[in-house]
């Protein structure tokens, strides 16, 4: 079994660059370069299979100096469920590694190989693998799981539900902190059927399925965030606010993090930028969660 291809040249965003605000080819090239550089500084395991499909891989990084039971930060990439690969996003973990966390970057099956609910099941399987693999090495009972765009939706689908943990052999509260960046959390009204079939829209919408609450939900978005040039710059903020309101209505602990001036790619970069308000919110929670 070979790892999933990471050939960004074949991605739709790179084949049709005029449709998008972000220079995605440049984004992927730079991400790969920065990941390679980071790998020279940290002990790591790349293209680790957590399941039986070539796309079910993760990259795992260990801090240089381990003290006690370090926190674990997990990142789930975006890409509209059609593109993306962990290696283009691994570098976002460097500042967490520098502060003593273990970092995992997770891949999952993409369309046309899979759609909802298979992809969220992939993330559940990856979390189960990490839970067992890092038990006794790191604090697997208080995971910080972050996702961007499509990855944010997958993270939200698991963070607010309690019907998958037993099947993966993990604690109900294994996702202690959910970091949800520029995602879509309500599929009602979407009739495309490309990822979620119309009949699945209700069950696929995290705002409609909240049977549990993480200890903390951090919801980040660009107030005027564009994905496509012809898109609605308020759409991401509106989806984010719907989720924030849903969590607050259930007395959940939710932190709203507007990332000023950020486009769709830049909100993901903010996750790894120590000068950003998003990084600071995540770091403040991640490195104190065990004591809470």
| CA 149/CA 252 separation, integer angstroms | 22
| pLDDT > 90? residue 85 | yes
| pLDDT > 90? residue 173 | yes
| Bridge partners for 181 per DSSP | 148, 220
Q: What is the pLDDT of residue 102?
A: 98
Angle of CA points 286, 184, 81, to nearest 5°: 95
Q: Are 180 and 158 contacting, i.e. CB atoms less than 8 angstroms apart?
A: no
Q: Are 35 and 52 contacting, i.e. CB atoms less than 8 angstroms apart?
A: no
Q: What is the pLDDT of residue 3?
A: 81
Of the ranges 103-107, 153-157, 225-229, which one carries the lowest mean pLDDT score?
Answer: 225-229
| pLDDT > 70? residue 150 | yes
Q: What is the pLDDT of residue 292?
A: 40
Q: Are 86 and 106 contacting, i.e. CB atoms less than 8 angstroms apart?
A: yes
Q: What is the pLDDT of residue 188?
A: 92
pLDDT confidence tier of residue 259, bands split at 50, 70 and 90:
very high
Residue pLDDT, tens place only, 178-217: 999 999 999 998 877 889 999 999 999 999 999 999 999 9
**All structural domains of the chain:** 8-125+132-291 (3.40.50.1820)
Report the chain's mean pLDDT, rounded to a whole number.
95
Token representation of residue 106: 């997770």
Q: What is the pLDDT of residue 74?
A: 98
| pLDDT > 90? residue 231 | no
Residue pLDDT, tens place only, 24-71: 999 999 999 999 999 999 999 999 999 999 999 999 999 998 878 999
Q: Are 24 and 265 contacting, i.e. CB atoms less than 8 angstroms apart?
A: yes
pLDDT confidence tier of residue 289, bands split at 50, 70 and 90:
low
| CA 283/CA 62 separation, integer angstroms | 17
Helix (H) or strand (E) holding 137: none
Q: What is the mean pLDDT of residues 80-98?
A: 97
Residue pLDDT, tens place only, 34-47: 999 999 999 999 99
Q: Are 8 and 28 contacting, i.e. CB atoms less than 8 angstroms apart?
A: yes
Q: Does the N-terminal peptide bond of residue 112 adopt cis geometry, omega within 30 degrees of 0?
A: yes
Q: What is the pLDDT of residue 2?
A: 74
- Please state whether the predicted TM-score (pTM) of the whole model is above 0.85: yes
Q: What is the pLDDT of residue 194?
A: 87
| pLDDT > 90? residue 107 | yes
Q: Which residue has the higher pLDDT, 218 or 228?
A: 218
Q: What is the pLDDT of residue 189?
A: 87
């Amino acid at each position: 079994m070979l790892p999933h291809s990471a050939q960004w040249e074949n991605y739709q965003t790179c084949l049709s660059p005029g449709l998008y605000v972000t220079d995605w080819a440049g984004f992927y090239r730079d991400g790969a370069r920065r990941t390679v550089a980071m790998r020279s500084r940290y002990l790591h395991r790349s293209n680790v299979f957590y399941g039986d499909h070539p796309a079910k891989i993760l990259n795992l990084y260990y801090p240089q100096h381990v003290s006690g039971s370090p926190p674990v930060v997990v990142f789930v990439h975006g890409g509209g469920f059609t593109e993306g690969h962990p290696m283009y996003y691994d570098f976002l973990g460097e500042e967490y590694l520098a502060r003593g966390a273990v970092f995992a970057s997770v891949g999952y099956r993409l369309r046309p190989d899979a759609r909802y609910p298979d992809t969220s099941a992939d993330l559940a399987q990856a979390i189960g693998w990490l839970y067992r693999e890092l038990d006794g090495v790191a604090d697997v009972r208080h995971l910080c799981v972050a996702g961007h765009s499509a990855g944010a939706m997958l993270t939200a689908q698991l963070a607010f539900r309690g019907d998958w943990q037993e099947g993966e052999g993990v604690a109900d509260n294994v996702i202690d902190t959910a970091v949800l960046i520029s995602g879509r959390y309500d599929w009602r009204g979407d009739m495309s059927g490309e990822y979620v079939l119309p009949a699945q829209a209700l069950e696929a919408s995290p705002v409609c399925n909240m049977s549990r609450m993480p200890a903390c939900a951090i919801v980040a978005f660009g107030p005027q965030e564009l994905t496509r040039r012809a898109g609605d710059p308020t759409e991401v903020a509106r989806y984010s606010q719907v989720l924030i309101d849903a969590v607050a209505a259930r007395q959940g602990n939710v932190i709203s993090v507007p990332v000023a001036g950020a486009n769709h790619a830049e909100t993901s970069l903010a996750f790894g930028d120590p000068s950003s308000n998003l990084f600071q919110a995540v770091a403040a929670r991640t490195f104190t969660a065990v004591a809470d």
